[in-house]
Amino acid sequence: MDAMTRTAAGPAAVGRLRSVLRGLDSESLARQVACKLSGAPVGRIAGRGCQAGVMEDMVRRSLDLARNWLLSGQGPDEAALSDLYETAREAARHGLAAEDVIRACSGAARAVRSTVLEADSPESGAWLLPHLEVPWAFLDIALTTVTRAFADQRDLPSAHGNSRAATLFARVCAQSATTVEDLDRAERLGFRLAGPHCPFVAAIVGGSAAAHSGLAARLRSAGALACADGHRVAGLTGPDFDWAGPLADSALILATESATSDTGLADAVGNLHDLVTLAIGDGRRGRIRLDDFLTEIMLANSPRLADSIVRRVLGLLDAEDPSGTLSQTLRSLAAHGFNRTEAAAALPAHRNTLLYRINRIEKLSGLDLDRHAHRELARLAVVWSDTVSSGNRARHDHGPATDG
């Protein structure tokens, strides 16, 4: 179907549709769609190796394929379908079910269709209707590709217990009313559904998805409700659960909370996911605690406020100084408690040069770096900016561990 050359469309209408499609922010839209599709709570800081990230990648790939089809008038070629196939296999390796990946493709198709509808205008007339068929045509191809990818991936651990545990874990975190099916799942898993429950998230640094599936199975055999979530294991234990065995693995990172009411489980698990992400980035191992990364977690729990602080402090610095010298200087000051001698030595920069940069920073940002409150604002901006950028690098710069 030549979606963009139909003569029934006026130039203004075609131009508007092209403009809307080219302005589509795949990153932001993929995050929104993936968040709505997620069953269990996830962290707010971007990190490598969790199912939420794989789901987001699947949505993003689908968005781009459907959008490119609309822009070019041609369906995806063999290379594009091969990429979609590999993304689906990666989802299978991370323990996602085929229906989850199909939901991701469907969510992307609906999002693109909504984007097309936004291009509607009084002069569009009937020309828009053929374009609305493209997302569904893409979905037909995507379903075939996903089905084939999962069929080719059947040699991986099927994790029947993992699927059962993941379903029960998501339902407990969502405070869903207990059903007969939930009781049956808990009985089959040997998990005490009545509580109290202590949430946890664990990761094996450098471990494959298969290694995490194995860890989840061992934890379930010890009485935990544990499900592999890509390169993470998340779940619930009783207060007296013995972590000595798992912690004997020097590559393990473990974040746990004390007994938590069901109403607070989702937030607690989200915080634990973020703790593990931060610990991996910091090269930590073993058991980690909330106060190890308290500032980052507080900012993650208030993302709009955190982004506002970054814009307030670093926005004009980055805009007026593309080289990044001023923001680097502010980072050095924050890292050294605003001790100018130590910051100058670390950069390195002559003290007079540092004083000149501080003067520029204060004029552009409106901060007074001699005031404690303004120093704290600058420190928060630096912490959150570095947290977000390091999380995104981890997701996009490193490939998944092998499953061999």
Tens of pLDDT, residue by residue over 65-87, are: 888 888 888 888 888 888 888 88
Question: Stretch 149-178: mean pLDDT, rounded?
Answer: 77
Q: Which residue has the higher pLDDT, 270 or 52?
A: 270
pLDDT digit string (tens) for 181-202?
999 999 999 999 987 899 999 9
Strands 225-228 and 286-288: unpaired
d(CA 222, CA 206): 24
Is the pLDDT assigned to residue 10 strictly greater than 60?
Answer: no
Q: Longest Cα pair distance anywhere in the chain, in angstroms?
A: 72
Task: Give the orientation angle of helix 325-335 with respect to helix 372-397, to 10 degrees.
Answer: 110
The pair of structure tokens assigned to 106 is 């469907």
Distances in Å between the alpha carbon of 382 and those of 332, 377, 378?
10, 9, 6
**87 neighbors 270 (Cβ within 8 angstroms):** no
Residue with tokens 């690098």: 393
**CB count in 10 Å sphere of residue 5:** 8
For residue 303, is the peptide bond before it cis, meaning its omega torsion is within 30 degrees of 0?
Answer: no
**CB count in 10 Å sphere of residue 250:** 8
In one-letter notation, the amino acid at residue 18 is R
Question: What is residue 288's three-state secondary structure?
Answer: strand
What residues are paired with 286 via a beta bridge?
253
**CB count in 10 Å sphere of residue 328:** 15
Q: What are the residues whose beta carbons fall under 8 Å from the beta carbon of 36, sequence distance 6 or more?
A: 107
**131 neighbors 116 (Cβ within 8 angstroms):** yes
Q: Counting beta carbons within 10 angstroms of the beta carbon of residue 182, is it exposed (0 to 12), middle (13 to 18) or buried (19 or more)?
A: middle
Phi-psi region of 234 (alpha: psi -120 to 50; beta: other; left: phi over 0): beta
pLDDT of residue 148: 87
Is the pLDDT assigned to residue 388 strictly greater than 80?
Answer: yes
What residues are paired with 256 via a beta bridge?
200
- Per-residue confidence band for 13, with pLDDT thresholds at 50, 70 and 90: low
